[in-house]
């Protein structure tokens, strides 16, 4: 197998000069990653805020930081690996929500780099400015219209990409630390979300098929140790939960959610075959036709001579145009299914590449598998967060099936072209987010800085209605101080933002998140609060979705205003609590000092 991230080469004289050069190159690459991530956060990520999604993972991490045990103390339909990972967000030397978004963008960029290194079979230090710029552009497309926030799908993609990259390096160069570190990362991916269990399967298959695994006299012991590295994150997680008394609850919660099968991705055009004639799905039909002709031209090898080589490059350019046009036609909207189209384009590219090169493009299969795992979701069942990588992978797989071209362009030309791609992608991402941030208004209406309310949210801009909503929570906390505070049902951001301790075992009791014995435990918690006192439970009286449209937020309401809930659970908790009924801004609540 070729090397994706090769071992350090022997250093010729003079040693000092050549030692500095790789360090300088690593510094340059680290620098552009940090600059791109910070620039994206400053111009895109911090604009727009919604109190539900954008604090969910941080709220779980806040619990873990205070010693709560997953599944025993925290009900979750997914393993809480992301909550463990994002404890690190609280250590960043910047406001919590700003720093968490910045870290998420770094994850997206590094994952894009890892996949590109695997597909190109070239180490990052050998990339020219053109390739580096293309990867940067792909990172921006991976973000597209998604909000920059801590999220388990982003974590799963990053762990899978970096784990596979490290595993490939370790196997190719016989580096035990890299190999087992990569396996450990693949094992971690499973515990951010069940859909990434395929990452561990990929790790095992990779080990079994790689020649390095079958070489050496101690291969059995080495294989056993490798499997232990893969399983170590899971063993530690299960041991932690079991020692905390939550093993039975973990099994019940992780198996009790609504399953996702990826049927929308796999059946892209089956329900409506005429979709193959409409944008952006029509680009798939166009690309497939090009692929068939390209196979006919390339399978005879060089026997077609110069005409065959010219035809090959023309076909590849046409295929590249189909990929680019898919992104354009997709308009960065999930409803257009552009991510699904790109996934299928890669699915066509893989066998074409394999047939021409006579080698299985394992990295292309890994990208496909990751796209499928990404689509296994309740709310975003499409590989949208992998669109840039899918597009870049298709382009790279196509370029590998044509004869090498003469080097006609100077480095400054490729660099200029790459930087132009970055600028265009950046402009499109900014324009898309400015038009309407995730569950928020357009850029010109995001006039309020949430740092006015709490330092943890400094720099985050939102519309006046959402700002009023968050400010009212701050006012309620000042008026009714309590050791235990909950805001139900849709404000998980408040716990880390205001340093609150939620007495209930759920941050965000959406219907799909209520698994296992969640209703009984929520009501039992209400009984416990009645016995112990010292609590404030606030209830929202309107759907929080109205904040996304800038709807009015009343400054005061009657104490008997009906509360908003999904399944009757919030109303049952309100009726169960015996504290004093209070009203505060747009909230009603129960308070027992």
pLDDT band at 343, cuts 50/70/90? very high
pLDDT tens-digit readout, 250-278: 999 999 999 999 999 999 988 888 888 88
Range name among 157-161, 310-314, 342-346, 582-586 with the lowest pLDDT average? 310-314
- Both tokens of 409, joined, read 């362009």
Burial, 225: exposed, middle or buried (Cβ in 10 Å; 0-12, 13-18, 19+)?
A: middle
Range of weakest confidence among 40-44, 67-71, 329-333, 420-424: 329-333
Q: Is the pLDDT of residue 130 over 80?
A: yes
Confidence category of residue 69, pLDDT binned at 50, 70, 90: very high
- 3-state class (DSSP) for residue 70: strand
Are the CB atoms for 500 and 485 separated by under 8 Å?
A: yes
Is 428 or 333 the better-scoring residue by pLDDT? 428
pLDDT above 90 covers what percent of the chain? Answer: 80
Domains of the chain, by residue range, sit at 58-254, 268-403, 463-592
Where residue 409 falls among pLDDT bands split at 50, 70, 90?
low
pLDDT at position 408 is 52
Give the pLDDT confidence of 135-172 residue by residue, as tens digits.
Answer: 999 999 999 999 999 999 999 999 999 999 999 999 99
Please, what is the average pLDDT of the chain? 92
**What's the CA gap between 400 and 403, in Å, rounded?**
8
User: Residue 38: which residues within 8 A CB-CB, separation 6 or more?
Assistant: 102
**Across 37-41, 74-78, 249-253, 256-260, least confident range:** 256-260
Rounded to an integer, the average pLDDT of 401-429 is 82
Burial 60-96 (b: 16+ CB within 10 A, else e): bbbbbbeebbbbbbbbbbbbbbbbbbbeebeeeeebb
Residue 63 has pLDDT above 90, yes or no: yes
Reduced to 3 states (helix: H, G, I; strand: E, B; else coil), residue 461 is: strand
Instruction: Give residue 334's pLDDT.
Output: 79
468 has pLDDT over 60: yes
Q: Are 171 and 213 in contact (CB under 8 A)?
A: yes
> Does the structure show a pLDDT above 50 at 415?
yes
pTM summary value: 0.94
The pLDDT value given to residue 238: 97
Asked whether 441 and 352 are in contact (CB, 8 A), the reply is: no
What is the sign, positive or negative, of the torsion defined by CA atoms of 385, 389, 393, 399?
positive
The residue among 269 and 561 whose pLDDT is bigger is 561
Query: Is the predicted pLDDT of residue 490 greater than 90, yes or no?
Result: yes
**What is the tens place of the pLDDT at every residue in 191-236?**
999 999 999 999 999 998 888 887 766 888 899 999 999 999 999 9
Residue 2: pLDDT band by 50, 70, 90 thresholds?
very low
Confidence check: pLDDT of 335 > 90: no
Q: In angstroms, rounded to a whole number, what is the distance separating the alpha carbons of residues 587 and 486? A: 12
State both tokens at 108.
């997206």
CB 77 within 8 A of CB 257: yes
pLDDT at 17: 42
The answer to whether residue 1 scores a pLDDT higher than 50 is: no
User: Predicted confidence band at 407 (pLDDT cuts at 50, 70, 90)?
Assistant: low
Contacts of 93 (CB under 8 A, 6+ apart): 99
List residues bridging with 580 in a β-sheet: 591
Predicted confidence band of residue 5 (pLDDT cuts 50, 70, 90)? very low
Closest CA to 428 of 44, 33, 112: 44
- Give, as one character, the DSSP assignment of residue 92: S
pLDDT of residue 9: 39
Instruction: Write down the pLDDT at residue 336.
Output: 84
Backbone angles phi, psi at 462, to 5 degrees: -150, 180
What average pLDDT does range 418-426 have in this prediction? 93
Q: What is the DSSP letter of 585?
A: T
Mean pLDDT within 316-327: 95
Determine the distance from the C-alpha atom of residue 29 to the mean position of all C-alpha atoms in its chain, rounded to a whole number.
Answer: 21
Tell me the average pLDDT across 479-490: 96
Q: Taking 60 as the threshold, does the pLDDT of residue 312 lie above it?
A: yes
Rounded average pLDDT over 550-576: 95
Residue 12 has pLDDT above 80, yes or no: no
Least confident span in 188-197, 404-413, 446-455? 404-413
Task: State both tokens at 93.
Answer: 């030397």
Q: What is the pLDDT of residue 72?
A: 96
Residues above pLDDT 70, as percent of the chain: 95
Cα–Cα distances (Å) from 394 to 101, 227, 376, 574, in that order, read: 29, 32, 22, 54
**pLDDT for the residue numbered 347:** 97
- Over 60: is that where the pLDDT of 7 sits? no
């Amino acid at each position: 197998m070729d090397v994706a991230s090769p071992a350090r080469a022997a250093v010729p004289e003079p040693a000092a000069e050549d030692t500095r050069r790789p360090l300088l190159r690593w510094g340059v690459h680290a620098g552009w990653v940090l600059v791109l991530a910070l620039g994206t956060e400053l111009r895109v990520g911090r604009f727009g805020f919604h109190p539900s999604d954008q604090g969910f993972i941080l709220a779980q991490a806040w619990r873990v930081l205070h010693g709560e045990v997953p599944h025993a103390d925290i009900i979750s339909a997914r393993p809480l690996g992301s909550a463990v990972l994002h404890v690190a967000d609280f250590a960043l030397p910047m406001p919590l929500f700003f720093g968490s978004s910045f870290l998420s963008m770094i994850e997206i960029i590094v994952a894009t780099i890892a996949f590109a290194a695997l597909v190109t079979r070239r180490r990052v230090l050998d990339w020219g400015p053109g390739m580096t710029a293309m990867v940067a552009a792909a990172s921006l497309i991976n973000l597209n219209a998604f909000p920059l926030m801590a999220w388990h799908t982003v974590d799963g993609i990053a762990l899978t990409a970096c784990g596979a990259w490290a595993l490939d390096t370790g196997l190719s160069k016989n580096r035990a630390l890299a190999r087992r570190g990569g396996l450990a990362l693949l094992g971690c991916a499973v515990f951010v979300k069940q859909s990434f269990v395929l990452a561990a399967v990929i790790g095992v298959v990779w080990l079994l098929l790689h020649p390095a695994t079958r070489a050496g006299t101690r291969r059995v012991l080495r294989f056993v140790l490798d499997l232990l590295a893969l399983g170590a994150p899971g063993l530690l997680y299960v041991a932690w939960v079991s020692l905390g008394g939550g093993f039975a609850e973990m099994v019940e919660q992780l198996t009790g959610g609504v399953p996702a099968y990826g049927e929308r991705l796999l059946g892209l055009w089956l329900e409506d075959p005429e979709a193959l004639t409409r944008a952006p799905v029509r680009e798939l039909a166009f690309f497939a036709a090009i692929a068939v002709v390209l196979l006919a031209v390339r399978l005879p090898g060089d026997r077609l001579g110069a005409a065959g080589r010219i035809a090959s490059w023309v076909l590849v350019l046409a295929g590249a145009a189909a990929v680019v046009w898919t992104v354009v036609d997709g308009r960065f909207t999930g409803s257009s299914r552009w991510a699904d189209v790109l996934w299928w384009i890669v699915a066509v590219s893989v066998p074409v590449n394999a047939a021409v090169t006579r080698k299985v493009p394992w990295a292309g299969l890994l990208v496909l598998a990751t796209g499928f795992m990404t689509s296994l979701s309740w709310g975003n069942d499409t590989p949208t967060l992998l669109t840039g990588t899918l597009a870049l992978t298709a382009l790279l797989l196509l370029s590998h099936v044509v004869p090498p071209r003469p080097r006609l362009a100077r480095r400054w030309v490729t660099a200029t072209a790459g930087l132009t791609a970055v600028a265009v992608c950046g402009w499109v991402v900014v324009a898309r987010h400015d038009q309407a941030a995730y569950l928020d208004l357009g850029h010109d209406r995001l006039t309020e800085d949430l740092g006015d309310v709490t330092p943890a949210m400094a720099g985050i801009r939102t519309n006046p209605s959402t700002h009023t909503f968050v400010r009212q929570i701050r006012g309620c906390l000042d008026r009714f101080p309590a050791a235990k505070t909950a805001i139900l049902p849709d404000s998980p951001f408040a716990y880390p933002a205001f340093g609150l301790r939620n007495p209930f075992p759920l941050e965000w009791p959406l219907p799909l998140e209520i698994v296992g014995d969640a209703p009984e435990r929520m009501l039992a918690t209400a009984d416990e609060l009645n016995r112990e006192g010292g609590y404030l439970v606030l209830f929202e009286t309107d759907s929080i979705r109205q904040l996304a449209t800038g709807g009015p937020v009343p400054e005061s309401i009657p104490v008997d205003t009906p509360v908003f809930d999904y399944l009757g659970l919030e109303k049952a908790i309100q009726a169960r609590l015996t504290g004093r009924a209070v009203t505060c801004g747009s909230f009603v609540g129960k308070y027992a000092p």
